[in-house]
Chain A
């Protein structure tokens, strides 16, 4: 479930005016920015952008970029974009650092087939390249095969499960793991073409048969294999996305070296989806509410914005 509180009776023109007032003069009234934007859903934010343009002939996004700074600016920028555009930006940024490729796996595996399609369109509109073109050009070998396969698939979304197939493909995966041939074509084929329901049945079959989950079975030697790392992430994103996001947050919220990018990414991309469920999972796992943990390791307007997205009402 979503965490943000968005009033049903909002007037885009009024919101645009409030924001305009917040930007006027020296400095910015960040609290006003947060109190408006953090409490509007995607449709409403889009209307506000349009109203801002109609009233002031200026792109609200560009204005925000110039008025705000630092982690706060990055978070608000990602928040104000439409979800598919946001994902396109996240993917493009992630391509620039090979240690961030898991973001691409996240986007490709957590989004629905139609959402991923929308991301591909938004990517083209923004960068004048196809997403797969850029992913392929930035990667090589098995990582390329996996990532390109993941971003280009248009998975069937029905609930049908073929149990015989699930068994045989679980065996294929098991053989690949046993022979340490994780990146063989069959593993990639299964992961990058089968429907999610079918894959979950396959993973369950694996667990029933082997007594251990496939992600656990993929641990161990070789340890620092990039392909294996991304493979595990793909499986976790398909199988248990909530647990995956909880872990990302848990790892990102550290006393030293807090990973603001990761915190922003999870909170901003899930606030309108399932952040409430992630919060519950976080509390179960860490015995500390997520709000509290975030508040401890972040500060200022950035903190206020995150907490607002997490559901804090003024």
Chain B
């Protein structure tokens, strides 16, 4: 939607002062529709008050929303209508998700990630790895109630290839949450992972039984200890070595051990100009699901990664009720 700002400048050159009012409307409408969510109030005040003549002129001037049809009328562009509808519904979806019990939220998000096209393994990874053991258990219970299947049953059926083993094991985990860590085991497991990553071009690390065992059964403190030892073993940080590997391995490692950085990156991607519909959905998902958990830490991490407060980024790029809801969630307590 923001490429339309370019249009405005072109139009400004062609039509002069008497059309300034129209142009201002167009600009306001474009801005109201740009980014995430809809600025309902300004749409009402602009379009709600215009008479038929002005609306016709508006349609004729808004060539990226309306196309001149061969039968002499200005027709909505279908693609734009869909995008517009999605933006209108962004607030509704956020509110509905917010009102849900966290268990139901996670169960619905996983089910959607499995059954909608395109599939989103990232959402499944995110939920399996960033939730606490009890939260993940709760999601599995809710999944029974909602879908009459177990979560692992559906993940196993819908996910294929190397990812299946990893994802099924991740959603089935009930990790120990105490601080006790065996440094010896962590050291030797760091070696195993380093070897698997080095062999990455011959065999995908997520096909390696030991990598799967370590990532899907070890406690999170134990995994952090592994990452610590990894540098001693391989000379590099694990995230440098994984950079080249499967994105699924990268995201699993990040979700498990540095979820705040993971969430910051996901949210930043969602706010970018060129974000597609699926990427944008992450903004709602992250803010709503982390609001009662660690949004404060995510905000700090975001600020340190990108130099801009997340609340400001959202203020600049989101609109209307959707923006108000997000900011309300982010500035509580």
Contact = CB atoms under 8 A, between A and B. Distances in A.
A156 B175 contact: no
Given A136-B213, A194-B153, A157 B219 contact: no
A195 B150 CA distance: 8
Contact of A152 (B165, B173, B209, B218): B173
Interface stretch (A49-57, A94-102, A137-145): A137-145
Given A137-B213, A148-B217, A153 B150 contact: yes
A148 B175 CA distance: 13
B168 interface: yes
Q: Is the interface of A mostly helix, strand, loop or mixed?
A: helix
Given A133-B219, A193-B153, A140 B209 contact: yes
Contacts of B151: 154
Interface stretch (A15-23, A36-44, A122-130, A243-251): A122-130
A120 interface: yes
B156 interface: yes
Across the A-B interface, give the 4 residue pairs with the lowest CB-CB distance, nearest first: A152-B172, A193-B153, A133-B217, A136-B213
Contact of B169 (A128, A137, A148, A157): A148
B324 to A, nearest CB: 38
B245 to A, nearest CB: 22
Contact of A133 (B140, B141, B176): B176
Interface string B197-223: 000000000000100010011110000
A155 B150 CA distance: 6
A136 B144 CA distance: 26
B76 interface: no
A185 interface: yes
A185 B217 contact: no
Contacts of B195: none
B98 interface: no
B66 interface: no
Contacts of B173: 130, 132, 152
A163 B174 CA distance: 31
A156 B144 contact: yes
B54 interface: no
A189 interface: yes
20 contacts: A117-B137, A120-B174, A124-B174, A129-B219, A130-B175, A133-B175, A133-B218, A137-B217, A144-B209, A145-B165, A145-B209, A148-B217, A149-B168, A149-B172, A154-B140, A156-B150, A185-B165, A193-B153, A193-B168, A195-B150
